[in-house]
Amino acid sequence: MNYVNKVHSCDRTDLSRLHESYFFSLPAIMCFGAAILFIKLIPAPMQILYLGIGLSLTSYAINRNMQFKFAQHSYKKWNARPDCIEFGPCCFFNLWSILTIVILVLTIVTAAWLTYFGGTSYSSRTQLRIAMMAGILLILSLLSLLSLPFGKWTKPEIVIDSIGVHLWPAGRYRTMIPWAAQPRVLGCVRHNGTPVALIETRTNSFYYFPMFTLPLGYVQFQRVLEFYSGYADARRSIGTPQGLVHVRSLMDFPVSEIAKDLHSQ
């Protein structure tokens, strides 16, 4: 299978969440600065657009930073159920992402209203600049909205049992990969513009799993699949208190360490 986009390692992808929070903070500050410094030089609708963009970028940056920090405590999201262990549901970052888009859309609507119905007459050139900027932002907003998983956010995103791993992003398009297929996470790729975990099986089948709104690290998910694909004894304890200890421990420790505990029992 060939990919146009590069497969990024799980370690690098996890760190990118933190790096993105810093990267998007800079243009946010620039937008706020432009709106304040040029308050008397640019029309009010343009100021609104700059402020809205800055607020949206700030919201996105905080989102990514919090997601990185929440992933460090992701063990709390794993819970044992009869005959299975579930991760989630985790709708918090989905809702946050939608709120960020809503902020941008409201900014566009406000700027457009001020331009054409605000009582102030602007030149055709100014109206064109505002319309072009608002149009570009609207397209970006729609693309961002389409990239988010929608569905039953009350359902767990990941379910593991003795048979396999069930991937259920936002409670829709449920996919089951059996442990016999030995699934493993290769890394992160972009699929239809969305960053997803790339999962490969021993039969050279590939699966995409969107994780960009989950408080779960790619390395952590990689460990879970590696552990349960490679150790049949571990699969027999799924759904028990000991099984929950195993999967929660995988959030902080490598597979080799958990395997030692498994063999010592």
240-260 pLDDT, tens per residue? 889 999 999 999 999 999 988
Please check whether residue 213 is in contact with residue 93, taking contact to mean a CB–CB distance below 8 angstroms: yes
Q: Is residue 88's pLDDT more than 70?
A: yes
The count of C-alpha atoms lying within 13 angstroms of the C-alpha of 179, restricted to the half-sphere facing its C-beta, is 20
* Complete edge-to-edge strand list for the sheet that includes strand 78-81: 78-81, 84-87, 158-161, 164-167, 175-178
What are the backbone dihedrals phi and psi of residue 214, each rounded to the nearest 5 degrees, phi first? -100, 140
Mean pLDDT confidence for 183-197: 89
Kindly state whether residues 183 and 123 are assigned to the same domain: no
Please check whether residue 179 is in contact with residue 228, taking contact to mean a CB–CB distance below 8 angstroms: yes
Question: Does 254 map to a domain?
Answer: yes
Question: Does 1 map to a domain?
Answer: no
Instruction: Output the pLDDT for position 3.
Output: 47
Q: Is residue 262's pLDDT more than 90?
A: no
CA distance 147 to 145: 5
Residue 9 or residue 146, greater confidence: 9
Kindly state whether residues 126 and 183 are assigned to the same domain: no
The tally of domains found in the chain comes to 2
Question: Does 102 map to a domain?
Answer: yes
- Residue 14 sits in which domain range? 10-82+90-146
Tell me which of 102, 125, 146 is where a domain ends: 146
Kindly state whether residues 22 and 130 are assigned to the same domain: yes
Kindly state whether residues 174 and 252 are assigned to the same domain: yes
CA distance 55 to 71: 24
CA distance 64 to 176: 28
Tell me how far CA of residue 221 lies from CA of 11, 125, 158, 167, 184, in angstroms: 11, 52, 10, 11, 9
